Structure formats: structure tokens, C-alpha cells
Amino acid sequence: MNRVVVVGGGISGLSTAFNIQEKARDKGIDVDITLIEASEKLGGKVQTMREKGYTIEVGANGFLDNKPSTLKLVDALGINDLLQPSNDVARKRFIYSDGKLKQLPESPIAFLKSDLLSLKGKMRVAMEIFTKPKPEGEEETIAEFARRHMGQEAVNKLIAPMVSGVFGGDAEKLSMESCFPLLLEVEKEGNGSLIRGMIKRMKQAKKTGIKMKATAGPGGRLTSFKGGIQTLIDTLAEKIEGDIIKGKRVEKISRIDDKKPKYIAELEGNDALEADIIITATPAYTTSKMIKELDPEISQKLLEIPYVPISVVALGYNRKELNHPLDGFGFLVARNEKRKIIGCLWTSSIFPGRAPEGKYLFRIMIGGAMQPELALLSKDQLINIAKGELMEIMGIDAEPIFAKVFRHEKGIPQYTLGHKKRLEIIEKRLNKHPGLFMTGNAFRGVGINYCTADAYLTSQKVVGYLS
Ligand SMILES: Cc1cc2nc3c(=O)[nH]c(=O)nc-3n(C[C@H](O)[C@H](O)[C@H](O)COP(=O)(O)OP(=O)(O)OC[C@H]3O[C@@H](n4cnc5c(N)ncnc54)[C@H](O)[C@@H]3O)c2cc1C
């Protein structure tokens, strides 16, 4: 029997454990899986709270349906019928810019007609088609890349808000190659230009019938479950046949060298588990502590992955007191607008049924890399900021009838310049510890889709190692 320990019960740890179980069964390999989660609740950043008839997401809202990994997992778990795609109206997104909400154009014609960018800004974007290939050299930030292609105005009004919305990040600091590797491929195919690259991809798709992703922005349709995103976590926990230990922190991982290395997971309270395989699916700073003695170099590289705080404020209102059509997904705030929020999701428009009859639920994000200090304010202060900003931005002067705050002090890992190199060093060093694997959102993507994709690959490596 091969003893497998998975550390961390977020979406990464749970889906890794489930995939190992399924793959090992297919190959006739015996595995005894134990998953250890520090908190009393599974899910990590994927948790849903139900209170007073509201269904509120603590962290992630859902996943996009334009990548296969989570949908495949949903299929393997047999919960397709519980999926809840976002409402059609949620295709409409807004940017708060120049003191008002402006619709994000969905097509080139709409872009030309839109007042989101000035005429000069639009012309600069159109000039993208003439972008020359960048000489090989230094790694670029997302903002540097976008500036080179589309100019500063597009960075401020399109790119920076999107980066804040997806990564809670600062476009001037995050690495283009680690955050949007696909766009670099499109750029290469277009000999320097994204527009040329996309046209080429569309032509190829027409010829071959094989669809290649033409854009590498978020795209896709936000998807969740009727009972909230935690359905995914609850089902995974149900289907994992091994032990799930909750409320115990793994403090240290050490190694015993036998014919094949074995590992010991030391838990708080002097408990320990021996394993043939350990997979960490914990935040980088936690994993760093666990393996400090086992491998100081990996530990150091993990510590170099910064995290930003982000807080979520959920506000409920009487719908009839909201003098606003609320016909969209919500909005993100452009750079330089001097507002105190990253953006706001019009949750009840995206996923009907998340508030009691006649009520409406908003979700406001505060903090991130641009204003980390705000995320750490008290709950009352955060509610006041959210309320005040909705009033100034959307004209909502009603009083909320429900409020809830979720603070994520180390909310989202940031793939800053040098991230790829850090990963290469970590991966090289991990080869020296056969049987030790690492997954989670600190490495190859923060979205749920990336976590489930990495969990799948990790489980493949684990089962490959066992066979
Ligand atoms: C506010 C917010 C909104 C988001 N929105 C979206 C969204 O809409 N769509 C999307 O795709 N992504 C979204 N994300 C990102 C996504 O939710 C996360 O990247 C993903 O859930 C991370 O999963 P994980 O399992 O890798 O890590 P985590 O969820 O952080 O799980 C790690 C687990 O390890 C446990 N742990 C830590 N230390 C130990 C230890 N020593 N021993 C044992 N266990 C330990 C933790 O308690 C935790 O449960 C959002 C993130 C945040 C913060």
C-alpha cells in the first residue's frame, strides 16, 4: 500500500487527492490517501456562506467555462446538473472611468463607438497592428507589454483594472510571461502584433476546424453551482475515500532515506504521519516554513512569492430601493480614479437566487496590490467604504439591510518579475526529493481553472512515480 499525504484542503489539495484516487484505481495501484487541512473548514479560498437567505461567496465567485480542467472535474464528480452558468446580462461589463460608469465594448465596432478611450487612445490601440517584434531581452511587466502594444490610456482604462480584478495585482509589477503566457504566443505568431496574431489564428481555425484561443484575457462565461461554488468542495470531500483530517496544521516535512525516500508530516500537537508521497497544496509562505530544514533553497524561493491582501464586502439591499437597472456583471475601477474599491460585482444579476425574493446582493472588492492598507481596515470601516463608494459611483443612497465582510490577509499570490525563474529553480530542486510534489495557486495560475489543471498534472506525476 502506498501512503499518500496531501497537505491543504483548498481546491488544489482536494482535486489532487481525488485525481490520484481515480487514476490509481484505473491503473490498479493501491493508495492510502490522507488529506490534512489546518482549518476546521475545507475549501480555502473557495467557500460559500449561507445566511438570512443570502448565498455569499467568501472568496472565488466561480470559474470560467473557456478552459476544460474544472468542467472535466465537474464531469468526473457527476455534478453537471448542479452547474449554474452566469446570466446572459452578465456579458455587459463596466469600467468606472473619468468619473462615470462606461460599458466595456464587446466588439471592434462597439470599441470605435465607445467613449471609454479618447479618440487619440483609440487610434493608438488601432496602431497595434504595426507593432514590431520586441528584441529578445528583459522580461516585461503586463503594463510594459500593454503600453508597447496599445499605449498608456489603454493600460489605465482597460488593462490595469482587469489585472486588479483578476489578480488583485499591480500591472506595473506582474510578469507578462507568468500571467498571460498565451498572449506572448499570439504576439509571436503575429510577428510582434496581437491583432495580426489573432487574425492568423482565426484563419487557421477556419481552415482546420480546430479552434485556437484567439484571446488570452479572462474571456469565457463565469460559472458556478446552484448552491454556490462550495458545491465543488463538498462533492470532492464526499468522493475522496481516504481520511480527511481537519483542524490540524502541518508544521514540518522531513525526509527519511530508505531504498526510496519516505517523508514525515509533523502535525501540530506532536502527531506525525509517515508517507511515501507528500503533496503540498498550501500557500507558498506556509510551504516555505514546512520545508525550511528539508530544502532551504526551495524554502527561500517560495518566500519570494509575495501575497496581497484583499477584502470582500457583501451588501444586501431592498431591490426596489435601488434606482439602477443593474443590467450587467458589475464594474472595475480604472487606474488613477482615486476611488477606494477595486470593483463591484452585481451578484444578483450574475447569479439570480443569491438573495432572498425582492432583495439584491452586491460584492465589493477592496485592497489588492494598489491599496493593500485598505483591505486590512476594520469590518465596520470596510462596510462604510463599500456603502460610500456605491453611493458615489452608482448613486445608491439606500441603506443596506445586510452586510458581511471577508478579509483575506494573504489573499492572492503575485507572479512578479522573475516568477518563472523561481519556479524553474523550485522544480529543479524538487527532482532531488523523489516523492515530494507541490501544487497550488502560488505556481502556475491563480484561477480555479489553473488550480484544477495543475492538480490534474500533479496527480499524473504522482501516479507515474508510483507505477
Ligand atoms: C477574494 C478572492 C476572489 C477570487 N475570485 C476568484 C474567482 O472568481 N474565480 C477564480 O477562478 N479564482 C478566484 N480567486 C482565486 C482562487 O480562489 C484561488 O486561487 C484558489 O481557490 C486557491 O486554491 P488553493 O487550493 O491553491 O489554495 P487555498 O484556497 O489557499 O487553500 C490552501 C489550503 O491550505 C490550508 N493550509 C495552510 N497552511 C496549512 C498547513 N500548515 N497545514 C495544513 N493545511 C494548511 C489552508 O487552510 C487552505 O485551506 C479568488 C481569490 C480571492 C482571494
Q: Which atom of ligand 1 is nearest to the CA of 251?
A: 41
- pLDDT of 2 reads 96
CA–chain centroid gap for 326, Å, is 25
**Per-residue pLDDT averaged across 57-79, rounded?**
97
Residues 409 and 440 in one domain: no
Residues 324 and 379 in one domain: yes
* Dist. CA 101 → ligand 1 center (Å): 31
Q: Tell me the pLDDT band of 187, cut-offs 50, 70 and 90.
A: very high
- pLDDT of 259 reads 83
- pLDDT of 136 reads 84
Residues 333 and 188 in one domain: no
DSSP 8-state secondary structure symbol assigned to residue 455 = H
Residues 380 and 253 in one domain: no
The upper half-sphere exposure of residue 422, i.e. CA atoms within 13 Å in the direction of its Cβ, equals 22
Check if 368 has its Cβ closer than 6 Å to any atom of ligand 1.
Answer: no
Are 283 and 79 within 8 A, CB to CB? Answer: no
Residues 13 and 81 in one domain: no
* Dist. CA 171 → ligand 1 center (Å): 21
φ and ψ at 280, to 5 degrees?
-90, 135
* Dist. CA 260 → ligand 1 center (Å): 32
pLDDT above 80 (res 209): no
Instruction: Tell whether pTM > 0.85.
Output: yes
Q: Which atom of ligand 1 is nearest to the CA of 365?
A: 1
Task: Give the contacts of 6 (CB within 8 A, at least 6 positions apart).
Answer: 13, 16, 17, 20, 33, 34, 35, 36, 278, 279, 281
Model confidence over 298-320: pLDDT tens digits?
999 999 999 999 999 999 999 99
- What percent of the chain is helix, strand and coil (3-state, nearest 5)? 40, 25, 35
> If you take atom 17 of ligand 1, which residue's CA is the nearest one?
60
Mutate to test the pocket of ligand 1, among 282, 438, 454, 457 (most ligand atoms within 8 A of CB): 282
Give the dihedral of Cα atoms 149, 150, 153, 155; nearest 10 deg: -60
Residues 257 and 184 in one domain: no
pLDDT above 80 (res 418): yes
CA 299-303-307 angle, to 5 degrees, is 145
* 17-51: b (≥16 Cβ within 10 Å) or e: bbbbbebbeeeeeebebbbbbbeeebbbbbbbeee
In Å, how far are 126, 171, 204, 334, 383 from 370, measured between CA atoms?
A: 29, 10, 40, 12, 19
* Dist. CA 11 → ligand 1 center (Å): 7
Check if 383 has its Cβ closer than 6 Å to any atom of ligand 1.
Answer: no
* Dist. CA 447 → ligand 1 center (Å): 9
* Dist. CA 412 → ligand 1 center (Å): 8
Q: What is the CATH classification number for the domain harbouring 175?
A: 1.10.3110.10
Is the Cα torsion angle 407, 408, 410, 413 positive or negative in sign? negative
> If you take atom 10 of ligand 1, which residue's CA is the nearest one?
447
Q: Which atom of ligand 1 is nearest to the CA of 39?
A: 47
- Looking at the DSSP bridge assignments, the partners of residue 64 are 222
Helix axis angle, 68-77 relative to 230-239, nearest 10°?
50
Residues 317 and 399 in one domain: yes
Which amino acid is residue 102, in one-letter code? K
Q: Note down the domain range covering 255.
A: 2-40+235-305+415-466
pLDDT above 60 (res 339): yes
Instruction: Report how many domains make up the chain.
Output: 3
Check if 151 has its Cβ closer than 6 Å to any atom of ligand 1.
Answer: no
φ and ψ at 120, to 5 degrees?
-65, -40
* Residue whose entry in the numeric block shows the C-alpha cell 533553497: 297
* Dist. CA 39 → ligand 1 center (Å): 12
CA–chain centroid gap for 208, Å, is 32
Kindly state the cell numbers that stand for 312: 470582500
Check if 229 has its Cβ closer than 6 Å to any atom of ligand 1.
Answer: no
* Dist. CA 30 → ligand 1 center (Å): 29
* Dist. CA 153 → ligand 1 center (Å): 33
Give the end of a domain, one of 389, 413, 437: 413
Domain contains 366: yes
Residues 387 and 425 in one domain: no
* 285-311: b (≥16 Cβ within 10 Å) or e: bbbbbbbbebbeebbebbeebbbbbbb
Q: In what order do the strands lie in the sheet with 83-85?
A: 63-64, 222-225, 83-85
Residues 197 and 262 in one domain: no
Residues 73 and 195 in one domain: no
Residues 420 and 301 in one domain: yes
Strand positions, DSSP E, 53-143 = 54-57, 63-64, 83-85, 93-97, 100-103
Check if 253 has its Cβ closer than 6 Å to any atom of ligand 1.
Answer: no
- pLDDT of 362 reads 98
Q: What is the CATH classification number for the domain harbouring 36?
A: 3.50.50.60
Task: Give the contacts of 426 (CB within 8 A, at least 6 positions apart).
Answer: 298, 301, 302, 438, 443
- pLDDT of 323 reads 92
Q: Which atom of ligand 1 is nearest to the CA of 64?
A: 11
- pLDDT of 217 reads 45
Are 349 and 89 within 8 A, CB to CB? Answer: yes
- pLDDT of 441 reads 98
